Amino acid sequence: MQTRKLGNLEVSALGLGCMGMSFSYGPPKDKAEMTKVLRGAVERGITFFDTAEVYGPYLNEELVGEALAPFKGKVVIATKFGFDLSAPPNFVASGPRTNSRPEHIKEAVEGSLKRLKLETIDLLYQHRVDPAVPIEDVAGAVKELIAAGKVQHFGLSEVSATTIRRAHAVQPVTALQSEYSLWWRRPENAEIAVLEELGIGLVPYSPLGRGFLTGAFDSTATFEKGDFRTALPRFTPEALAANQSLVAVLARIAGDKHATTAQIALAWLLEQKPWIVPIPGTTKLNRLEENIGAVAVSLSAGDIKAIDAAAADITGERYPEAMEKMTGR
């Protein structure tokens, strides 16, 4: 496995997003099976794992902490704070309540450390901007946690270029986590230029468009109860049908290269910048191996031109309005 740098934090060129093991895509998956996937990822060279206290809530951190305990010091675990979890979060209807008050951040970190079985968190993100708390106060709280040895690196998630600059002036930011893929390219508008200027890495979540870019879904696709894709505008039958043209181009290029559609979508991301580390999620070892194979795929300028043209006109918003309002852009 190749490695890449997020700021000065070295990780595998692909990470593993762990959310779907416990949250958002139907009921939590079998713990023993997910432990096999997590440990199998390490055996295959993955060193970067992404979780958050809200995934479950708490279940995902507990799973990751227990599964990766034998690899302490050999892997990088990223987690996130920023929500009030005193009531069950409802992402689709209204979004969970944000809470990034400094005292709450410190409480959240203590809980995450315990669940992850760590003495220090490798990378700590603010999950979503809290409009009630200045980002300087958030960065200052994390700076104190870094000084105390409880956190090593500071990250932000789904924020604007302006917010990145303001936070970075207080505590250097190591990574921005943001949705970024062939069907969500907004970070190209402003954030990527700021990241390059400041030496901050980018960690794209949902790099396969929540599975759409694998070619697994057509307009007849159905999802099990509890799968939040049922509420996403891009997973309506109309949008699924309209966006098949992008998948068709990926499939054609994949056929030419003896690769898969998913590998082409990930290879496109890896080609964008050397400091981009996608974190595709999966609950299956064979899919994990497929994703890892993307690191060895090379795309020509012609391939990228064809892909960019196909991705220029995507149908459907990525989130319902309430969820989109939670982003800090």
Report d(CA 154, CA 200) in Å as an integer: 10
Q: Is 25 a catalytic residue?
A: no
Cα 138 from chain centroid (whole Å): 21
Residue 239: C-alpha distances to residues 185, 186, 212, 228, 316 (Å): 17, 19, 11, 16, 6
Cα dihedral 237→243→244→246 (10° resolution): -160
For residue 69 the two structure tokens come to 């305990």
Amino acid identity of 205? Y
Would you call 94 helix, strand, or coil by DSSP?
A: coil
Closest to 237 measured CA to CA, from 224, 226, 223: 223
DSSP codes joined into one string, 182-239: TTB-GGGGTHHHHHHHHT-EEEEESTTGGGGGGT---TT----TTBGGGG-GGGSHHH
- Catalytic option among 25, 55, 125, 319: 55
The radius of gyration of the chain from alpha carbons, rounded to an integer in Å, stands at: 19
DSSP codes joined into one string, 158-188: SB-HHHHHHHHHHS-EEEEEEE-BTTB-GGG
Which residues are known catalytic residues?
55
